[in-house]
Every structure is written in C-alpha cells, then in structure tokens.
A and B are shown apart, each in its own frame.
Chain A
C-alpha cells in the first residue's frame, strides 16, 4: 500500500516504483541523444539497420506501389487530360528529334554526351530508398548505400524522373556502414548556394521550406539581379573552388535543382519560390555523386 500513490481505482494505479523506473528511462534516453549525435553509437546502430534494411525496402516499395495505384485511380480525369498534353508534347519532341538527328552527324562530341556521366562528369553510386522519415517533421530518406560504397557526409544525391534532368534531391547527412541518411532539399534545415542559369546568373541561398508549407526557396538574391519565373536553378558550387573541408564542398557546381515559379522582393533582396524538378518524397532510385572528372 505504501508504494502506491493513490488507491487502486478501476483496477489500475501508478506505483512509485513504476514512476521511478520511467524516470530512469527518461534520464538514460536524454543521455543517449548527445552520445548518438556525437556518433558514438553508430557501431551499434549500423549493423541493426543493415539487418532491417531488406524489410524496410520491401515495405517502402509496397507503400509506393499502393500510393501510385491509388493516385492513378483518384486522378483518372486529370491523367486523361495530362495524357493528351503529353501526346502533344511527344509529337513536338518527335519533330525536334528529327532535327537533332540531322545535327547529330555533325556533332560527335554531343553524341558521346548522352547519359549523366558524360554530360556532367560525375562519378556516381546508384542506390535505392529504403525508408523515408515519419516523425519529427524532418524531410529525410535512408538509402541502401553507405561508407562501404564510398558514400560520405555532404555528398550530393541526385535522381531522375521521367523527362526531368538528373536533379538534386538532397545531401548525405549521415553515413553508416551500409546505409546513409539523406537530408532532402525540401527540409527546413537545408541550405545551399544556388544560382540561375540565365546569362547574368542570380546567385542566392536555396533553403528548404517544407516545414512552412512550401517546397524550396531561393533567398538573399541581390536586388539588382535578373531573375524571372521559368529560370532554371542549379547548384552554385561556391565551396568547391575554395577547397575547404566543409562537407558541402563535395557538391559539384551546376547540379540542376528546379525552376523558378514566383519572384518576390524587398528593398534589400529578392527571393523566389523554386519548384524542384523532382518531388523528393516520391523518389525510389537515385545516385550519390561521389566525385567528378577533373576540369
């Protein structure tokens, strides 16, 4: 009776012993957080993640398949309209392909540049998404490649979907033996120097906006810079030439990110909503850029 805080009501009471045990658990949990942040628990975490990886991949693929199927079902009329638009686009592209094929004979160099490696000169490791985050409101994914495959913190992660160019979807945030966590470009903590590809590039800071209800935004653009809707945004690669040791120095310049949708500005700077070429939440297969050809 002494160990009970209150009398048993409805067959249940909170004992001092249970409360003390819960308190100990909370203290241990609070101590584990900084230890894990310092990477001291990675040796234990890595092998366990590797064991669960196949199941996670299986479940993630199943969810994406179900989601894709239900989306198709729900958006039948939209799909039909979109199909019509795509058919028109395909017809236009066919015409362009014929033109290009004529030009191809004069340009052997361009012919060799089909494919990401030839175009961008990136060295890549292919990976698949094994899990996307579910809690704490962070936009992250876990991929099935890690340190053993040469994946390290700060490396750019790109993906390609349909007719989109190979585009940046995130940056490796943490690398384990066989898996790695990727911070998506839409996450609120993501920031990267980016620029437009216009003749006079507008340089700014690309930041994730998911937590505030949007996708990505190019901020702190010089107020005199020219930036308009439809401009393509790519990584600026500002850290790389400096050759400093920051993780983001591993991101090459000119990695496509998205298209400017809307520009706004103040007396001091401009900013723009950027629609990513690829919705990072729907990505299944991607590549980690582990290096690039010397210029």
Chain B
C-alpha cells in the first residue's frame, strides 16, 4: 500500500480540477474581487501560499504554475511575470516556514504578509526591467503596502477554507 500511486487518468483529473480552480480564482481576482484602497484581494497569491503551507513546496509550485499562467492569460501582465513571482514566493515560504509549527493561525498570516511584500517587490522589479518608469517609494506606499494589508486581512479565512478542503481531500483519498 505504501507504494500506491494513482493511475495516470486519476492524476490527470486531479491536476485538471486544480488548474480549473486556479483559473476560477484568477477570474474572480481580476474581474470580481472587491477593491480596497485601490487594491484587489490577490486570491491566487494567497491560495499558493496557503497550499504551500498545507502541502509543501512541490504542491505549492504546481499551484503557482496554474495561477501564474491563468493570470498571464486573464490580465495584461506579460506571461511569466506572475509565474516567476508566485513560484519565488512559494519557495521562500516553504523554506522559511519549514521549522515552524503548523497548528497556529499566525503562520499563514505572517506568510501572506511576507509573501505579498515579496510578490509586490518582484512585480515592481519586472515592471522596471521591462522598461516601465517606476517611483519606488510611491509604488511601495500606494501599491505594495495597501495590497499587503488587504491580503493579510483575508489570509486567515482563506487559509481555513483551503485547510477544510485539504482535509476533505485527504478523507476521500484525493491526496
């Protein structure tokens, strides 16, 4: 039983369902999520962080790929920008939280705060490298910090929802 490995079609269906979920999240984030302080809740980023915390780096990277590609299709961002930022955040969160206990809600909160800051900085660097002028201080004050605040506010409920889903998946054997 230890060597049990789902069949190819089972794995494909699981990955497709996860990809569909991330497309849905990207659609909600870009088109429906309410804005606060001119910032939208970054549902995809929060999902990637939460899933990295729940399932580890490999799963987080997969979600980063689905989310990054979805955002690249849906938003005017260049393909690769969100993918790069999301994967980097997943790696940082996985490595930095490895030794911390998982049974506290402080971990997702702090992870989302740090992850949002890193994500904002990476996006800013990509913008700058692709030839867009950038006033760093104003960018940080008007975009990165409000975005981080908004994401942090919604971090815990999002994490709890994904945790419930994760437990349900484990119960039905959909690991």
Interface size on B, residues (CB 8 A): 59
Contacts of B126 in A (CB 8 A): 33, 136
**CB <8 Å contact, A62 and B142:** no
CB < 8 Å A-B pair total: 174
**CB <8 Å contact, B123 and A9:** no
- Residue B152 is within 8 A (CB to CB) of chain A in the complex: no
The CA-CA distance from A135 to B102 in the complex, in Å, is: 29
The CA-CA distance from A63 to B144 in the complex, in Å, is: 23
Contacts of B58 in A (CB 8 A): 15, 17-18, 21
Cβ proximity bits B4-42 to A, threshold 8 Å, 1 near / 0 not: 000000000000000000010001111111100010101
Contacts of A174 in B (CB 8 A): 76
Cβ proximity bits B62-73 to A, threshold 8 Å, 1 near / 0 not: 001100100111
- Residue A275 is within 8 A (CB to CB) of chain B in the complex: no
**CB <8 Å contact, B32 and A62:** yes
- Residue A273 is within 8 A (CB to CB) of chain B in the complex: no
- How far is the CB of B160 from the nearest CB of chain A, in Å? 18
**CB <8 Å contact, B83 and A25:** yes
Contacts of B109 in A (CB 8 A): none
Which residue of the partner chain B has the closest CB to A173? Answer: B76
Contacts of A21 in B (CB 8 A): 58, 61
**CB <8 Å contact, B31 and A131:** yes
Cβ proximity bits A26-68 to B, threshold 8 Å, 1 near / 0 not: 1011111101110001000100110010011001101100110
Which residue of the partner chain B has the closest CB to A189? Answer: B132
- Residue B143 is within 8 A (CB to CB) of chain A in the complex: yes
- Residue B105 is within 8 A (CB to CB) of chain A in the complex: no
The CA-CA distance from A205 to B117 in the complex, in Å, is: 33
**CB <8 Å contact, B34 and A55:** no
Given A131-B31, A140-B76, does the pair A12, B56 have CB atoms closer than 8 Å? yes
- Please indicate which of the listed interface residues A11, A22, A31, A142 has the most CB atoms of chain B within 10 Å of its own CB: A22
Contacts of A32 in B (CB 8 A): 78-80, 83
- How far is the CB of A57 from the nearest CB of chain B, in Å? 8
**CB <8 Å contact, B31 and A33:** no
**CB <8 Å contact, A56 and B30:** yes
Q: Contact partner of B130 among A15, A33, A62, CB < 8 A? A: A33
The CA-CA distance from A261 to B90 in the complex, in Å, is: 45
Q: Contact partner of A213 among B80, B81, B138, CB < 8 A? A: B138
**CB <8 Å contact, B130 and A22:** no
Contacts of B139 in A (CB 8 A): 137, 211
Within 8 A of A (CB), among B82-125: 82-84, 87-88, 90-91, 94-95, 98-102, 123-124
Interface size on A, residues (CB 8 A): 58
Which residue of the partner chain A has the closest CB to B54? Answer: A12
- How far is the CB of B85 from the nearest CB of chain A, in Å? 8
Q: Contact partner of B74 among A18, A52, A67, CB < 8 A? A: A52
- Residue A258 is within 8 A (CB to CB) of chain B in the complex: no
**CB <8 Å contact, A131 and B81:** no
The CA-CA distance from A14 to B71 in the complex, in Å, is: 26
**CB <8 Å contact, B80 and A134:** no
- How far is the CB of A120 from the nearest CB of chain B, in Å? 28
Which residue of the partner chain B has the closest CB to A53? Answer: B74
- How far is the CB of A94 from the nearest CB of chain B, in Å? 38
**CB <8 Å contact, B99 and A9:** yes
- Residue A229 is within 8 A (CB to CB) of chain B in the complex: no
The CA-CA distance from A140 to B74 in the complex, in Å, is: 12
The CA-CA distance from A62 to B28 in the complex, in Å, is: 11
The CA-CA distance from A52 to B23 in the complex, in Å, is: 9
- Residue B133 is within 8 A (CB to CB) of chain A in the complex: yes
The CA-CA distance from A173 to B101 in the complex, in Å, is: 47
**CB <8 Å contact, A142 and B76:** yes
5 nearest CB pairs, A to B: A32-B80, A59-B31, A137-B143, A29-B84, A29-B83
Q: Could you list 6 further interchain pairs (A-B, Cβ under 8 angstroms) beyond the known A135-B75, A211-B138?
A: A9-B99, A25-B87, A37-B78, A59-B32, A136-B126, A210-B38
Residues of B within 8 A of A (CB): 23, 27-34, 38, 40, 42, 56-58, 61, 64-65, 68, 71-84, 87-88, 90-91, 94-95, 98-102, 123-124, 126-127, 130, 132-135, 138-139, 141-144
Residues of A within 8 A of B (CB): 6, 9-15, 17-19, 21-23, 25-26, 28-33, 35-37, 41, 45, 48-49, 52, 55-56, 59-60, 62-63, 66-67, 130-138, 140, 142, 173-174, 181, 188-189, 210-213
